[in-house]
């Protein structure tokens, strides 16, 4: 048995805020120098995390159409289990929201906070991330 074909006119397509799957790619920061450059750039602190944003120069390697993102949690956040849980939540927030709200050619670093990143409701983390990006992009003060 073969699965049914998807409609070509989009009539039965799901309506919602699904992130684009192909048009924009997130690359994870891995080099210490990238994290250090982001730490000297603009940042916004929210109850659950800190977001740092840096505009890359046009000649930097990944290209001007790529969004890069990094995640970090220090030992102050807790033991390995707590740090991993906090980073998983930060990765999911970035995966859901940065393709739509992030600016191409920028680096974002999300830093977990002790007792908050892994304990706050996920919806609040999402709304805080949206508000932090609005501030960083100059839409609100």
* φ/ψ of residue 52, rounded to 5: -110, 140
Could you tell me the pTM of the whole model? Answer: 0.78
* Residue 6 domain-assigned (yes or no): no
The range of the structural domain enclosing residue 46 comes to: 26-136
Domain harbouring 97, CATH code = 3.30.230.10
- No. of H helices and E strands in the chain? 3, 5
The pLDDT > 70 percentage for the chain reads 82
Q: How many CB atoms lie within 10 A of CB 54?
A: 20
Tens-place pLDDT, residues 30-41: 899 999 998 999
112 strand-pairing partners: 49
* Structural domain count of the chain: 1
* Residue 3 domain-assigned (yes or no): no
* Residue 10 domain-assigned (yes or no): no
* Residue 15 domain-assigned (yes or no): no
Tens-place pLDDT, residues 55-105: 988 777 777 788 999 999 999 998 999 999 999 999 999 999 999 988 888
């Amino acid at each position: 048995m073969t699965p049914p074909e998807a409609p070509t006119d989009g009539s039965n397509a799901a309506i919602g805020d699904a992130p684009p799957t192909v048009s924009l790619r997130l690359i994870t920061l891995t080099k210490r120098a990238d994290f250090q450059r982001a730490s000297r750039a603009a940042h916004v602190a929210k109850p659950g995390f800190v977001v740092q944003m840096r505009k890359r120069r046009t000649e930097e390697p990944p290209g001007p159409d790529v969004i890069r993102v990094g995640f970090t949690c220090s030992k102050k956040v807790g033991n390995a289990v707590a740090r991993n849980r906090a980073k998983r939540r930060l990765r999911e927030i970035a995966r859901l929201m940065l393709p739509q709200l992030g600016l191409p050619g920028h680096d974002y670093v999300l830093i977990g906070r002790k007792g908050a990143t892994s304990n706050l409701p996920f919806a609040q983390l999402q709304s805080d991330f949206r508000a932090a990006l609005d501030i960083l992009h100059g839409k609100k003060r």
